[in-house]
Structure 1
Protein backbone atom coordinates (compact mmCIF):
# COMPACT_ATOMS: atom_id res chain seq x y z
CA UNK A 1 0.00 0.00 0.00
CA UNK A 2 1.00 3.62 -0.47
CA UNK A 3 1.82 5.54 2.68
CA UNK A 4 2.89 9.11 3.27
CA UNK A 5 2.80 12.11 5.56
CA UNK A 6 -0.36 12.03 7.66
CA UNK A 7 -0.05 15.62 8.85
CA UNK A 8 -2.09 18.49 7.46
CA UNK A 9 0.74 20.86 6.50
CA UNK A 10 1.07 23.64 3.95
CA UNK A 11 4.13 24.58 1.90
CA UNK A 12 5.66 26.56 4.76
CA UNK A 13 5.46 23.61 7.14
CA UNK A 14 2.70 25.13 9.25
CA UNK A 15 -0.75 23.57 9.80
CA UNK A 16 -3.11 24.46 6.94
CA UNK A 17 -6.27 26.05 8.32
CA UNK A 18 -7.72 27.63 5.21
CA UNK A 19 -9.27 26.76 1.90
CA UNK A 20 -7.08 26.62 -1.15
CA UNK A 21 -7.38 29.83 -3.22
CA UNK A 22 -8.04 27.62 -6.27
CA UNK A 23 -11.55 28.03 -7.71
CA UNK A 24 -12.46 30.61 -5.08
CA UNK A 25 -14.08 32.95 -7.60
CA UNK A 26 -17.44 31.67 -8.81
CA UNK A 27 -17.14 28.35 -6.99
CA UNK A 28 -19.50 26.99 -4.37
CA UNK A 29 -18.15 26.21 -0.93
CA UNK A 30 -18.35 22.46 -1.58
CA UNK A 31 -16.38 22.89 -4.82
CA UNK A 32 -13.69 24.77 -2.92
CA UNK A 33 -13.54 22.07 -0.24
CA UNK A 34 -13.25 19.38 -2.91
CA UNK A 35 -10.47 21.32 -4.65
CA UNK A 36 -8.64 21.75 -1.36
CA UNK A 37 -8.88 18.03 -0.57
CA UNK A 38 -7.58 17.18 -4.04
CA UNK A 39 -4.62 19.49 -3.49
CA UNK A 40 -3.82 17.92 -0.12
CA UNK A 41 -4.01 14.42 -1.59
CA UNK A 42 -1.79 15.36 -4.52
CA UNK A 43 0.81 16.88 -2.20
CA UNK A 44 0.75 13.91 0.16
CA UNK A 45 -0.79 15.72 3.12
CA UNK A 46 -3.68 13.26 2.92
CA UNK A 47 -2.74 9.72 1.89
CA UNK A 48 -4.44 6.60 0.51
CA UNK A 49 -6.16 4.60 3.24
CA UNK A 50 -6.52 7.61 5.52
CA UNK A 51 -9.88 8.25 7.16
CA UNK A 52 -11.48 11.62 6.52
CA UNK A 53 -13.56 12.91 9.40
CA UNK A 54 -16.14 15.51 8.56
CA UNK A 55 -15.55 17.43 11.79
CA UNK A 56 -11.81 17.69 11.12
CA UNK A 57 -12.22 18.72 7.49
CA UNK A 58 -14.82 21.32 8.42
CA UNK A 59 -12.46 22.76 11.04
CA UNK A 60 -9.46 22.79 8.70
CA UNK A 61 -11.41 24.43 5.88
CA UNK A 62 -13.42 26.64 8.23
CA UNK A 63 -16.79 25.62 6.79
CA UNK A 64 -19.93 23.85 8.00
CA UNK A 65 -20.51 20.10 7.68
CA UNK A 66 -22.85 20.27 4.67
CA UNK A 67 -20.33 21.43 2.03
CA UNK A 68 -17.86 18.86 3.36
CA UNK A 69 -20.39 16.06 2.83
CA UNK A 70 -21.10 17.33 -0.69
CA UNK A 71 -17.38 17.55 -1.46
CA UNK A 72 -16.81 13.98 -0.27
CA UNK A 73 -19.63 12.75 -2.49
CA UNK A 74 -17.97 14.52 -5.42
CA UNK A 75 -14.65 12.83 -4.67
CA UNK A 76 -16.41 9.49 -4.34
CA UNK A 77 -17.81 9.91 -7.85
CA UNK A 78 -14.24 10.52 -9.06
CA UNK A 79 -13.03 7.26 -7.52
CA UNK A 80 -10.85 9.03 -4.96
CA UNK A 81 -12.83 8.52 -1.76
CA UNK A 82 -14.91 5.63 -0.47
CA UNK A 83 -17.93 6.43 1.71
CA UNK A 84 -19.01 3.88 4.30
CA UNK A 85 -22.35 4.03 6.17
CA UNK A 86 -21.78 4.86 9.85
CA UNK A 87 -18.00 4.84 9.31
CA UNK A 88 -17.42 8.03 7.37
CA UNK A 89 -15.06 8.51 4.45
CA UNK A 90 -11.69 7.06 3.54
CA UNK A 91 -9.24 7.86 0.77
CA UNK A 92 -9.14 4.82 -1.46
CA UNK A 93 -6.21 2.51 -0.74
CA UNK A 94 -3.99 1.82 -3.73
CA UNK A 95 -1.37 -0.80 -4.48
CA UNK A 96 0.51 -2.11 -7.52
CA UNK A 97 -2.54 -3.98 -8.80
CA UNK A 98 -4.72 -0.87 -8.59
CA UNK A 99 -2.11 1.21 -10.43
CA UNK A 100 -1.70 -1.41 -13.16
CA UNK A 101 -5.45 -1.81 -13.64
CA UNK A 102 -6.13 1.93 -13.81
CA UNK A 103 -3.25 2.62 -16.18
CA UNK A 104 -4.17 -0.31 -18.42
CA UNK A 105 -7.70 1.06 -18.78
CA UNK A 106 -6.36 4.56 -19.37
CA UNK A 107 -3.96 3.25 -22.03
CA UNK A 108 -6.75 1.55 -24.00
CA UNK A 109 -8.81 4.74 -24.01
CA UNK A 110 -5.93 7.13 -24.70
CA UNK A 111 -4.70 5.05 -27.63
CA UNK A 112 -8.19 5.20 -29.15
CA UNK A 113 -8.54 8.95 -28.57
CA UNK A 114 -5.04 9.70 -29.85
CA UNK A 115 -5.81 7.93 -33.12
CA UNK A 116 -9.03 9.88 -33.47
CA UNK A 117 -7.17 13.12 -32.76
CA UNK A 118 -4.66 12.35 -35.53
CA UNK A 119 -7.51 11.81 -37.97
CA UNK A 120 -9.22 15.15 -37.40
CA UNK A 121 -6.68 17.67 -36.07
CA UNK A 122 -6.27 20.89 -38.08
CA UNK A 123 -3.39 23.35 -38.40
CA UNK A 124 -4.54 25.39 -35.41
CA UNK A 125 -4.67 22.23 -33.34
CA UNK A 126 -1.14 21.28 -34.38
CA UNK A 127 0.06 24.76 -33.36
CA UNK A 128 -1.53 24.30 -29.93
CA UNK A 129 0.02 20.85 -29.66
CA UNK A 130 3.45 22.30 -30.49
CA UNK A 131 3.09 24.84 -27.68
CA UNK A 132 2.03 22.18 -25.18
CA UNK A 133 4.94 19.90 -26.12
CA UNK A 134 7.37 22.80 -25.69
CA UNK A 135 5.80 23.77 -22.36
CA UNK A 136 6.33 20.26 -21.03
CA UNK A 137 9.96 20.29 -22.16
CA UNK A 138 10.57 23.55 -20.31
CA UNK A 139 9.12 22.08 -17.11
CA UNK A 140 10.98 18.81 -17.65
CA UNK A 141 14.25 20.74 -17.48
CA UNK A 142 13.38 21.64 -13.87
CA UNK A 143 12.63 18.00 -12.92
CA UNK A 144 9.75 19.31 -10.78
CA UNK A 145 7.25 16.40 -10.77
CA UNK A 146 4.25 18.56 -9.91
CA UNK A 147 4.94 21.06 -12.71
CA UNK A 148 5.63 18.22 -15.13
CA UNK A 149 2.40 16.46 -14.20
CA UNK A 150 0.42 19.63 -14.78
CA UNK A 151 1.92 20.17 -18.24
CA UNK A 152 1.67 16.51 -19.16
CA UNK A 153 -2.02 16.54 -18.27
CA UNK A 154 -2.63 19.64 -20.39
CA UNK A 155 -0.89 18.03 -23.36
CA UNK A 156 -2.72 14.71 -23.24
CA UNK A 157 -6.00 16.31 -22.22
CA UNK A 158 -5.85 18.46 -25.35
CA UNK A 159 -5.26 15.37 -27.51
CA UNK A 160 -8.00 13.40 -25.77
CA UNK A 161 -10.61 16.15 -25.94
CA UNK A 162 -10.29 16.65 -29.68
CA UNK A 163 -12.05 13.32 -30.17
CA UNK A 164 -15.17 14.78 -28.50
CA UNK A 165 -15.95 11.66 -26.46
CA UNK A 166 -17.25 12.80 -23.07
CA UNK A 167 -17.83 9.25 -21.84
CA UNK A 168 -14.21 8.29 -22.46
CA UNK A 169 -13.01 11.44 -20.71
CA UNK A 170 -15.15 10.62 -17.70
CA UNK A 171 -13.47 7.23 -17.36
CA UNK A 172 -10.01 8.79 -17.77
CA UNK A 173 -10.69 11.20 -14.92
CA UNK A 174 -11.69 8.44 -12.50
CA UNK A 175 -8.85 7.77 -10.08
CA UNK A 176 -6.44 10.05 -11.95
CA UNK A 177 -5.61 12.10 -8.86
CA UNK A 178 -4.49 9.04 -6.89
CA UNK A 179 -2.11 8.00 -9.66
CA UNK A 180 -0.76 11.54 -9.85
CA UNK A 181 -0.22 11.57 -6.09
CA UNK A 182 1.94 8.46 -6.41
CA UNK A 183 3.91 10.14 -9.19
CA UNK A 184 4.50 13.26 -7.09
CA UNK A 185 5.62 11.10 -4.18
CA UNK A 186 8.13 9.05 -6.17
CA UNK A 187 8.89 11.52 -9.00
CA UNK A 188 10.51 10.09 -12.14
CA UNK A 189 13.27 7.51 -12.19
CA UNK A 190 16.43 7.26 -14.26
CA UNK A 191 16.14 8.49 -17.83
CA UNK A 192 12.34 8.45 -17.91
CA UNK A 193 12.02 12.23 -18.32
CA UNK A 194 14.20 12.23 -21.46
CA UNK A 195 12.16 9.31 -22.78
CA UNK A 196 8.92 11.20 -22.24
CA UNK A 197 10.27 14.24 -24.09
CA UNK A 198 11.32 12.05 -27.01
CA UNK A 199 7.98 10.24 -27.14
CA UNK A 200 6.05 13.52 -27.01
CA UNK A 201 7.96 14.75 -30.05
CA UNK A 202 7.32 11.52 -31.95
CA UNK A 203 3.65 11.66 -31.00
CA UNK A 204 3.37 15.28 -32.11
CA UNK A 205 4.92 14.48 -35.51
CA UNK A 206 2.67 11.47 -36.10
CA UNK A 207 -0.46 13.41 -35.17
CA UNK A 208 0.57 16.40 -37.30
CA UNK A 209 0.91 14.23 -40.41
CA UNK A 210 -2.42 12.51 -39.64
CA UNK A 211 -0.78 9.12 -39.26
CA UNK A 212 -3.40 7.33 -37.21
CA UNK A 213 -1.58 4.00 -37.02
CA UNK A 214 1.73 5.52 -35.87
CA UNK A 215 -0.04 7.81 -33.40
CA UNK A 216 -1.78 4.86 -31.79
CA UNK A 217 1.44 2.82 -31.62
CA UNK A 218 3.42 5.67 -30.05
CA UNK A 219 0.62 6.36 -27.56
CA UNK A 220 0.58 2.67 -26.62
CA UNK A 221 4.33 2.61 -25.96
CA UNK A 222 4.08 5.89 -24.07
CA UNK A 223 1.35 4.60 -21.76
CA UNK A 224 3.07 1.27 -21.20
CA UNK A 225 6.34 3.00 -20.38
CA UNK A 226 4.66 5.25 -17.83
CA UNK A 227 2.92 2.28 -16.21
CA UNK A 228 6.01 0.08 -16.06
CA UNK A 229 8.25 2.82 -14.70
CA UNK A 230 5.78 3.83 -12.00
CA UNK A 231 5.32 0.21 -10.90
CA UNK A 232 9.09 -0.23 -10.79
CA UNK A 233 9.48 2.87 -8.61
CA UNK A 234 6.69 1.67 -6.33
CA UNK A 235 8.23 -1.79 -5.97
CA UNK A 236 11.65 -0.32 -5.24
CA UNK A 237 10.28 1.86 -2.48
CA UNK A 238 8.33 -1.03 -0.96
CA UNK A 239 11.47 -3.16 -0.88
CA UNK A 240 13.41 -0.38 0.80
Structure 2
Protein backbone atom coordinates (compact mmCIF):
# COMPACT_ATOMS: atom_id res chain seq x y z
CA UNK A 1 0.00 0.00 0.00
CA UNK A 2 1.46 3.37 -0.99
CA UNK A 3 0.71 6.75 0.55
CA UNK A 4 -1.12 7.78 -2.61
CA UNK A 5 -3.64 4.94 -2.25
CA UNK A 6 -4.93 5.59 1.26
CA UNK A 7 -8.71 5.28 1.61
CA UNK A 8 -10.42 8.43 2.86
CA UNK A 9 -14.08 7.49 2.58
CA UNK A 10 -16.06 6.80 5.74
CA UNK A 11 -13.13 7.83 7.93
CA UNK A 12 -11.09 10.93 8.71
CA UNK A 13 -7.87 11.69 6.89
CA UNK A 14 -5.94 11.29 10.15
CA UNK A 15 -7.49 7.84 10.65
CA UNK A 16 -6.67 6.88 7.07
CA UNK A 17 -3.04 7.98 7.32
CA UNK A 18 -2.60 6.21 10.66
CA UNK A 19 -4.15 3.04 9.21
CA UNK A 20 -1.88 3.19 6.17
CA UNK A 21 1.23 3.67 8.30
CA UNK A 22 0.20 0.72 10.50
CA UNK A 23 -0.27 -1.49 7.46
CA UNK A 24 3.13 -0.50 6.10
CA UNK A 25 4.75 -1.23 9.46
CA UNK A 26 3.06 -4.62 9.81
CA UNK A 27 4.10 -5.56 6.27
CA UNK A 28 7.70 -4.65 7.02
CA UNK A 29 7.82 -1.81 4.48
CA UNK A 30 8.54 0.69 7.27
CA UNK A 31 11.25 -0.28 9.74
CA UNK A 32 13.18 1.32 12.58
CA UNK A 33 15.69 2.45 9.96
CA UNK A 34 13.10 4.56 8.14
CA UNK A 35 12.93 8.22 9.31
CA UNK A 36 9.42 9.69 9.21
CA UNK A 37 9.56 13.48 9.29
CA UNK A 38 6.40 15.55 9.32
CA UNK A 39 7.55 17.48 6.26
CA UNK A 40 8.27 14.37 4.19
CA UNK A 41 5.11 12.59 5.29
CA UNK A 42 2.94 15.64 4.57
CA UNK A 43 4.35 15.76 1.06
CA UNK A 44 3.93 12.01 0.55
CA UNK A 45 0.28 12.07 1.61
CA UNK A 46 -0.41 15.52 0.14
CA UNK A 47 -1.85 16.87 3.38
CA UNK A 48 -0.99 19.61 5.85
CA UNK A 49 1.70 18.97 8.49
CA UNK A 50 -0.75 19.16 11.43
CA UNK A 51 -2.71 16.29 9.87
CA UNK A 52 0.38 14.10 9.62
CA UNK A 53 1.47 15.17 13.10
CA UNK A 54 -1.86 13.98 14.53
CA UNK A 55 -1.52 10.60 12.80
CA UNK A 56 2.06 10.19 14.02
CA UNK A 57 1.14 11.15 17.58
CA UNK A 58 -1.61 8.54 17.54
CA UNK A 59 0.89 5.83 16.58
CA UNK A 60 3.37 7.07 19.18
CA UNK A 61 0.61 6.66 21.79
CA UNK A 62 0.06 3.09 20.53
CA UNK A 63 3.74 2.30 20.98
CA UNK A 64 4.33 1.74 17.26
CA UNK A 65 6.37 4.89 16.66
CA UNK A 66 8.91 6.76 18.76
CA UNK A 67 9.83 10.42 18.40
CA UNK A 68 13.40 11.56 17.87
CA UNK A 69 15.08 14.92 17.40
CA UNK A 70 13.66 17.48 14.99
CA UNK A 71 10.20 15.83 15.09
CA UNK A 72 11.50 12.72 13.34
CA UNK A 73 9.54 9.56 14.10
CA UNK A 74 10.68 5.98 13.59
CA UNK A 75 9.11 2.57 13.98
CA UNK A 76 9.68 1.41 17.55
CA UNK A 77 12.42 -1.21 17.76
CA UNK A 78 11.04 -4.57 18.85
CA UNK A 79 13.72 -5.79 21.23
CA UNK A 80 13.76 -8.78 23.62
CA UNK A 81 12.74 -6.69 26.65
CA UNK A 82 9.75 -5.19 24.83
CA UNK A 83 8.64 -8.60 23.57
CA UNK A 84 8.81 -10.02 27.08
CA UNK A 85 6.76 -7.16 28.51
CA UNK A 86 4.10 -7.31 25.78
CA UNK A 87 3.56 -11.05 26.13
CA UNK A 88 3.53 -10.99 29.92
CA UNK A 89 0.92 -8.21 29.90
CA UNK A 90 -1.23 -10.34 27.58
CA UNK A 91 -0.82 -13.40 29.76
CA UNK A 92 -1.90 -11.60 32.92
CA UNK A 93 -5.08 -10.35 31.30
CA UNK A 94 -5.99 -13.47 29.33
CA UNK A 95 -5.34 -15.93 32.15
CA UNK A 96 -7.96 -14.31 34.37
CA UNK A 97 -10.37 -14.12 31.43
CA UNK A 98 -10.09 -17.87 30.86
CA UNK A 99 -10.78 -18.58 34.52
CA UNK A 100 -13.87 -16.38 34.42
CA UNK A 101 -15.17 -18.02 31.25
CA UNK A 102 -14.58 -21.48 32.71
CA UNK A 103 -16.70 -20.66 35.77
CA UNK A 104 -19.77 -20.49 33.54
CA UNK A 105 -18.33 -22.82 30.87
CA UNK A 106 -18.87 -20.10 28.28
CA UNK A 107 -17.17 -20.94 24.99
CA UNK A 108 -17.45 -17.91 22.65
CA UNK A 109 -18.79 -18.85 19.23
CA UNK A 110 -16.58 -16.18 17.63
CA UNK A 111 -13.51 -17.86 19.12
CA UNK A 112 -14.63 -21.22 17.75
CA UNK A 113 -15.12 -19.69 14.28
CA UNK A 114 -11.76 -17.90 14.35
CA UNK A 115 -9.91 -21.06 15.30
CA UNK A 116 -11.72 -23.06 12.62
CA UNK A 117 -10.37 -20.51 10.12
CA UNK A 118 -6.85 -21.06 11.48
CA UNK A 119 -7.35 -24.79 11.01
CA UNK A 120 -8.15 -24.24 7.33
CA UNK A 121 -5.00 -22.18 6.73
CA UNK A 122 -2.46 -24.98 6.85
CA UNK A 123 -1.78 -24.48 3.15
CA UNK A 124 -1.55 -20.67 3.33
CA UNK A 125 1.35 -18.40 4.19
CA UNK A 126 2.30 -18.14 7.88
CA UNK A 127 1.13 -14.53 8.13
CA UNK A 128 -2.36 -15.44 6.88
CA UNK A 129 -3.32 -16.69 10.32
CA UNK A 130 -2.51 -13.45 12.15
CA UNK A 131 -5.98 -11.95 11.68
CA UNK A 132 -7.95 -15.02 12.84
CA UNK A 133 -5.45 -15.53 15.67
CA UNK A 134 -6.11 -12.00 16.89
CA UNK A 135 -9.88 -12.53 16.56
CA UNK A 136 -9.62 -15.72 18.62
CA UNK A 137 -8.01 -13.96 21.56
CA UNK A 138 -10.17 -10.84 21.28
CA UNK A 139 -13.29 -13.02 21.28
CA UNK A 140 -12.27 -14.53 24.60
CA UNK A 141 -11.73 -11.10 26.14
CA UNK A 142 -14.97 -9.64 24.79
CA UNK A 143 -17.03 -12.63 25.96
CA UNK A 144 -16.63 -11.52 29.58
CA UNK A 145 -18.67 -8.42 28.77
CA UNK A 146 -16.40 -5.84 30.40
CA UNK A 147 -15.96 -2.74 28.26
CA UNK A 148 -12.97 -1.64 30.31
CA UNK A 149 -11.28 -5.02 30.09
CA UNK A 150 -11.79 -5.08 26.32
CA UNK A 151 -10.45 -1.53 26.02
CA UNK A 152 -7.43 -2.40 28.16
CA UNK A 153 -6.62 -5.43 26.03
CA UNK A 154 -7.07 -3.54 22.78
CA UNK A 155 -4.55 -0.94 23.95
CA UNK A 156 -1.94 -3.68 23.49
CA UNK A 157 -3.08 -4.88 20.09
CA UNK A 158 -0.86 -2.78 17.84
CA UNK A 159 2.27 -4.04 19.62
CA UNK A 160 0.83 -7.56 19.83
CA UNK A 161 0.30 -7.53 16.08
CA UNK A 162 3.92 -6.51 15.52
CA UNK A 163 5.02 -9.47 17.65
CA UNK A 164 2.69 -11.87 15.84
CA UNK A 165 3.95 -10.63 12.48
CA UNK A 166 7.54 -11.33 13.48
CA UNK A 167 6.67 -14.75 14.93
CA UNK A 168 4.87 -15.85 11.78
CA UNK A 169 7.22 -14.25 9.24
CA UNK A 170 10.10 -16.10 10.95
CA UNK A 171 8.10 -19.38 10.99
CA UNK A 172 8.56 -19.74 14.75
CA UNK A 173 5.21 -21.48 15.32
CA UNK A 174 3.40 -23.96 13.09
CA UNK A 175 -0.26 -23.15 12.32
CA UNK A 176 -1.21 -26.69 13.33
CA UNK A 177 0.20 -26.22 16.82
CA UNK A 178 -1.59 -22.88 17.26
CA UNK A 179 -4.87 -24.45 16.15
CA UNK A 180 -4.48 -27.47 18.42
CA UNK A 181 -3.65 -25.41 21.50
CA UNK A 182 -6.56 -23.08 20.84
CA UNK A 183 -8.87 -26.08 20.56
CA UNK A 184 -7.60 -27.48 23.83
CA UNK A 185 -8.10 -24.14 25.59
CA UNK A 186 -11.72 -24.06 24.40
CA UNK A 187 -12.24 -27.66 25.57
CA UNK A 188 -10.89 -26.79 29.02
CA UNK A 189 -13.20 -23.77 29.24
CA UNK A 190 -16.17 -25.97 28.32
CA UNK A 191 -15.12 -28.44 31.01
CA UNK A 192 -14.94 -25.71 33.65
CA UNK A 193 -11.19 -26.19 34.12
CA UNK A 194 -10.08 -22.57 34.32
CA UNK A 195 -6.71 -23.14 35.96
CA UNK A 196 -5.75 -25.74 33.37
CA UNK A 197 -6.85 -23.42 30.56
CA UNK A 198 -4.77 -20.59 32.05
CA UNK A 199 -1.75 -22.90 32.40
CA UNK A 200 -2.01 -23.96 28.76
CA UNK A 201 -2.35 -20.33 27.72
CA UNK A 202 0.87 -19.56 29.58
CA UNK A 203 2.61 -22.33 27.62
CA UNK A 204 0.98 -21.13 24.39
CA UNK A 205 2.08 -17.51 24.76
CA UNK A 206 5.34 -18.38 26.49
CA UNK A 207 6.58 -20.51 23.62
CA UNK A 208 5.97 -17.68 21.13
CA UNK A 209 7.51 -15.14 23.48
CA UNK A 210 10.72 -17.04 24.17
CA UNK A 211 11.26 -18.12 20.56
CA UNK A 212 10.86 -14.52 19.39
CA UNK A 213 13.23 -13.30 22.11
CA UNK A 214 15.78 -15.85 20.88
CA UNK A 215 15.28 -14.77 17.25
CA UNK A 216 15.89 -11.15 18.27
CA UNK A 217 19.19 -12.03 19.90
CA UNK A 218 18.01 -12.16 23.50
CA UNK A 219 18.48 -14.88 26.09
CA UNK A 220 15.40 -17.14 25.88
CA UNK A 221 13.82 -19.08 28.70
CA UNK A 222 13.15 -22.83 28.64
CA UNK A 223 9.77 -22.37 26.92
CA UNK A 224 11.63 -21.62 23.68
CA UNK A 225 12.36 -25.35 23.40
CA UNK A 226 9.23 -26.61 25.13
CA UNK A 227 7.86 -29.84 23.63
CA UNK A 228 4.49 -29.76 21.95
CA UNK A 229 3.02 -32.61 23.97
CA UNK A 230 1.79 -30.04 26.47
CA UNK A 231 -1.59 -30.45 24.80
CA UNK A 232 -2.05 -33.49 26.97
CA UNK A 233 -2.28 -31.27 30.04
CA UNK A 234 -5.74 -31.23 31.57
Note the C-alpha offset of 1:135. 0.8
Aligned length: 215
Say whether 1:162 aligns with 2:143: yes
Counterparts of 1:127 and 1:175 in 2: how far apart (Å)?
26
Of 89, 92, 117, 1:105 maps to 89
- Secondary structure at the residue paired with 1:90? strand
Decide whether the 8 Å contact of 2:100 with 2:194 is kept in 1: yes
Decide whether the 8 Å contact of 1:44 with 1:185 is kept in 2: no
Note the C-alpha offset of 1:185. 3.8
- Secondary structure at the residue paired with 1:38? helix
Of 95, 103, 128, 1:119 maps to 103
What residue in structure 2 maps to residue 229 of structure 1? 211
- Secondary structure at the residue paired with 1:47? coil
Q: 1:27 to 1:222 in 2, by over 3 A?
A: same
Decide whether the 8 Å contact of 2:3 with 2:20 is kept in 1: no
- Secondary structure at the residue paired with 2:216? helix
Note the C-alpha offset of 1:156. 0.6
CA deviations 1:175-215 (Å, max 9, x no partner) are: 224323423542x23x6332212101101111223321222
- Listed as ranges, the gaps of 5+ residues in structure 1 are 1-9, 11-15
Higher RCO (C-alpha 8 Å, min separation 6): 1
Say whether 1:52 aligns with 2:40: no
Q: How does 1:164-203 map to 2 (within 5 A)?
A: 164=146, 165-166=149-150, 168-173=152-157, 175-186=159-170, 188-189=171-172, 192-203=174-185
Counterparts of 1:195 and 1:234 in 2: how far apart (Å)?
22
Note the C-alpha offset of 1:71. 0.6
Of 3, 24, 37, 1:40 maps to 24
Q: 1:118 to 1:232 in 2, by over 3 A?
A: same
Q: 1:174 to 1:32 in 2, by over 3 A?
A: closer
Which stretch has the larger CA shift, 63-72 or 162-171?
162-171
Q: 1:194 to 1:18 in 2, by over 3 A?
A: same
- Listed as ranges, the gaps of 5+ residues in structure 2 are 219-234
What residue in structure 2 maps to residue 86 of structure 1? 70
Say whether 1:149 aligns with 2:112: no
Note the C-alpha offset of 1:107. 1.7
Say whether 1:20 aligns with 2:6: yes
Decide whether the 8 Å contact of 1:114 with 1:215 is kept in 2: yes
What residue in structure 1 maps to residue 48 of structure 2? 64
CA deviations 1:76-101 (Å, max 9, x no partner) are: 11111122463422221222222122
RMSD across aligned C-alpha pairs, in angstroms? 2.4
